[in-house]
Amino acid sequence: MNACLARAERGPGRLFRLSREIHVGWAVPWLAVHLWPFSGLAQITSHSQGLHGYISFGIEKLPPEGAYTAGMGFYAAVWPLIDQPLAGFQIGLPSSWILPDNADNKHTPLCPEGTRARRWTARGPTWSSVFQTIEGGLGYWAGNHFRYGPPKFSMNGTPQCYDYEIGSPGWSFFYSNEALPDDRLGIAQLSNRLLIPPDGLPFQGHPNGEFLGYTWMSLPFTEPTADDPPTGEQSWTCFLSAANFKGPIAYFIPETWSKIAKLFNEPFLYGRGLDARPGIMGGGAMEINTVPRFDSTDAQGVTYTKLPKLQWPVDADGRAYLVQDVTYYSKAALYDDFKAWRDGGPPCSGRFGHKGAFQPKLNTRTTRYDMAGQEIAGVERVFNTRVFEGNVWGLQWFTNDICPAGQFPQYFKHVGNQRVVVAPTEVPPETGLHTQTFKLASPGPPYTSPNRGAWTHPGPAQGPFTARLADGSVVTYYWYRFVDQPSFQQYKWSPEKKARLQALVEQLHAAWPIDREYMPPPTRGRLVALDPALIVTPPPGLDVGYVPIVTRQEKAPSGETIP
C-alpha cells in the first residue's frame, strides 16, 4: 500500500485538518474529504449528496378547447436561499419545464442511438420526457463562476437529448468556460437594452421575497420551411417582468429543435420538436440537486449529519409565498397578432391578451426528501407545501422545536435506512458538527468566445464595451446587427429571409419599450430589480436592429468598485 501525508493545518472549531491518500480496501465514500477533530473522538466526513427532492406544485387539467399550449409564465419569489455563496451547491428556485407534445407517439424512440439520454432506459420506450426541453429559471447552479449571495436568472434548453444544453446566446448551461461550437448555438439575443451574461442575470441589492415575472411565449419570427430538415415557425421567446426591465430578452431559433432529425438521419423526428409541436407545460418546482453535507459519529457510534442553513422569506404566520399568477396561453394571447404584424398587418403591442389566457387552480403535495438515496423523515413536522388564498403556492411553517420559521432543518440522525430530523440540541458536542463550516465558493475562470467563425464573420458593428456587474464580474460585449449575431451564422438563409427578419426586429425595437406591461402585473407583492449594470443604451446610429452580445465574462480586477 502507498500512503503519503499532506500538509496539515488548524481549522475552524480547533479541527485538525489532515488529508491522506485513500488506501485500497478502505470503506470510504467517493469524493469524501476526511476531517479529524483535534480531540480525536470523532471523524467528520464531507460529502456532496446532502439533500435531494422536488418541492413542487401542480395544476388542474387544462381545458382542451382553449389549446393553451403556446405559452406559460408566472411570478416567482427571489431571495437568498443561503447566507453565503457555497461551493458545490445547486438548488433551483421555482421554475418550469416545457416539452414538445408527442403524445401521439406510443412506441418509437425520439432519442436516436448515440445520444446521451438514449442510455437512460427508464425513459423508454419513447424517451419523450428527455427528447427536448426548455428549463432554467431562477436558482443557484454548481457551475456558476461568479456567486454573490442572491440567486440568478438563466435560460436553458436541451435540443438534442441532453447531448448539450444552451443557456445564453453564446454558452452552454454553465458546463464550459468556452462558448458553444458555432453549430450548437441556439439562442438569439432579442433585446437591445439588456445584457445576457453566460453566468446568469444578477439582481440589484438584497432581494428578500420580491417577485420576478417570466414567461415563455411561442412567437412566429420566421415562416415555416420545407427545407431539409423541415422547420416550424415557433420561436420560444423569454419575457421578463422586473421593476426596471420588462419585455422579451431572447428566443430559441426554430432550427435549434429541428436539426436533430437531419443530424441523425431520422425522418421520424421531422416535425416533432419544439419548433413545430404544441408545448407541454405542467406545474413547477424547486429542484434540489446538489447540497454539501457533513457526517460525524458520536461516542456511541451513532452518525449525525449537518446541512447548510437554507432559508425562505416568511411572514408573521410562517408563510412563504413563492409562486403566483400562474398563467397558460393559447395563440390568441399574442401569437396571432404577432404573426399578422410579421406579415404586414398593424403593429402588435406585445401585451399578452386576456382572450388567450387561462389561470388553472394550483395543487401541491408533501415533498419526499432523500440524502444519498436514504429517505429523510420528519421534515413535514417543520413545514409543508401549501396553496394559499388567491391561488398562491408556497410553504407553511409549523410551531416546532427543530428550527425557526423560514428555515430547513440542518441536523439529522441516522436511524436504520432513514435520516431523521433532529434539533441542534440533540446533536452530541463531540461530533464537532456545530462548529463545522462549509466551503465557500471562489470565482471561476473567465467565460471566453473565439476570435473566429460566427463571432467574427460578418462580425460586430461596434465594440468592445464593458460593464461591471453586482456579482463581482466584468462582461465584455459588442453591438451586432441582429441577423449578424453568431447564433444565426450556421444557417444558409437567403438574403430575403434575413432582410424580413431584420426588418421585423427593427420594428419591434422601435415599438416595444422596456417599461411597458407585457405580462399582466403581479396581483400581490413588489417586483425585484435586475442589476442596473445589465441595462444598456444602444450607441448613436444603432438604436434599432442591433443587439449587445456578450463575448467574455471574468472576475473584476481586485480593488475595482462594483456598482
Q: Which of 452, 451, 434, 305 is nearest to 369 (CA)?
A: 305
Question: In the chain, pLDDT over 90 holds for what percent of residues?
Answer: 90
pLDDT at res. 298: 95
The total number of residues written for the chain in this structure? 563
Range of the domain at 536: 54-59+73-287+446-555
| Inside any domain, residue 477 | yes
pLDDT at res. 65: 80
Whole-model pTM: value is 0.91
Side chain identity, residue 22? I
Confidence category of residue 20, pLDDT binned at 50, 70, 90: very low
Structure-block grid coordinates of residue 217: 411565449
Confidence category of residue 64, pLDDT binned at 50, 70, 90: confident
Q: What would the pLDDT profile of 360-386 be if each residue is shown by its tens digit? A: 999 999 999 999 999 999 999 999 999
Residue given cell 413563492 in the structure block: 322
Q: Which of 242, 193, 192 is nearest to 215 (CA)?
A: 242
Distance of CA 444 to the CA centre of its chain: 18
| Inside any domain, residue 17 | no
Please, are residues 271 and 277 in contact by the beta-carbon 8 Å criterion? yes
Please, are residues 553 and 475 in contact by the beta-carbon 8 Å criterion? yes
Q: What would the pLDDT profile of 90-105 be if each residue is shown by its tens digit? A: 999 999 999 999 999 9
Distance of CA 212 to the CA centre of its chain: 13
Structure-block grid coordinates of residue 260: 436533430
What is the C-alpha to C-alpha distance for residues 72 and 531, in angstroms, rounded to an integer? 25
> What average pLDDT does this structure show over 338-367?
97
| Inside any domain, residue 521 | yes
What is the C-alpha to C-alpha distance for residues 242 and 515, in angstroms, rounded to an integer? 9
Please provide the DSSP assignment of 494-555 as one string: -HHHHHHHHHHHHHHHHH--TTS-SSPPPSSS-B--B-GGGB--PPTT-SSSEEEEEEEEEE
Rounded to 5°, the CA angle 31-35-38 comes to 175
Please, are residues 96 and 322 in contact by the beta-carbon 8 Å criterion? no
Residue 37: pLDDT over 60: no
Among 4-8, 117-121, 317-321, 421-425, the least confident range: 4-8
| Inside any domain, residue 529 | yes
> What average pLDDT does this structure show over 111-123?
97
What is the C-alpha to C-alpha distance for residues 119 and 127, in angstroms, rounded to an integer? 10
Confidence category of residue 558, pLDDT binned at 50, 70, 90: confident
| Inside any domain, residue 370 | no
* Number of C-beta neighbours around residue 312 at 10 A: 25
> What average pLDDT does this structure show over 76-91?
96
> What average pLDDT does this structure show over 536-557?
97
Please, are residues 363 and 110 in contact by the beta-carbon 8 Å criterion? no
Q: What would the pLDDT profile of 479-518 be if each residue is shown by its tens digit? A: 999 999 999 999 999 999 999 999 999 999 999 999 999 9
| Inside any domain, residue 435 | no
Q: What would the pLDDT profile of 284-324 be if each residue is shown by its tens digit? A: 999 999 999 999 999 999 999 999 999 999 999 999 999 99
Pairing status of strand 90-92 against strand 44-47 = unpaired
Q: Which of 240, 236, 237, 238 is nearest to 257 (CA)?
A: 236
**Number of structural domains found in the chain:** 1
457 vs 38, more confident: 457
Confidence category of residue 59, pLDDT binned at 50, 70, 90: very high
What is the C-alpha to C-alpha distance for residues 132 and 161, in angstroms, rounded to an integer? 6
Residue given cell 432519442 in the structure block: 111
Pairing status of strand 133-140 against strand 71-78 = unpaired
Please, are residues 19 and 3 in contact by the beta-carbon 8 Å criterion? no
Residue 14: pLDDT over 60: no
Question: Rounded mean pLDDT of the chain?
Answer: 92
Confidence category of residue 257, pLDDT binned at 50, 70, 90: very high
Q: Which of 455, 442, 554, 454 is nearest to 197 (CA)?
A: 554
What is the C-alpha to C-alpha distance for residues 547 and 549, in angstroms, rounded to an integer? 6
Residue 387: pLDDT over 50: yes
Residue 80: pLDDT over 80: yes
pLDDT at res. 41: 54
89 vs 40, more confident: 89
| Inside any domain, residue 164 | yes
The b-or-e profile of 433-463 (16+ CB within 10 A means b, else e) is: beebebeebebbebbbbeeeebbeeeebeeb
Pairing status of strand 319-329 against strand 392-397 = antiparallel
pLDDT at res. 559: 55
> What average pLDDT does this structure show over 101-127?
97
Q: What is the DSSP letter of 98?
A: B
| Inside any domain, residue 214 | yes
Distance of CA 35 to the CA centre of its chain: 33
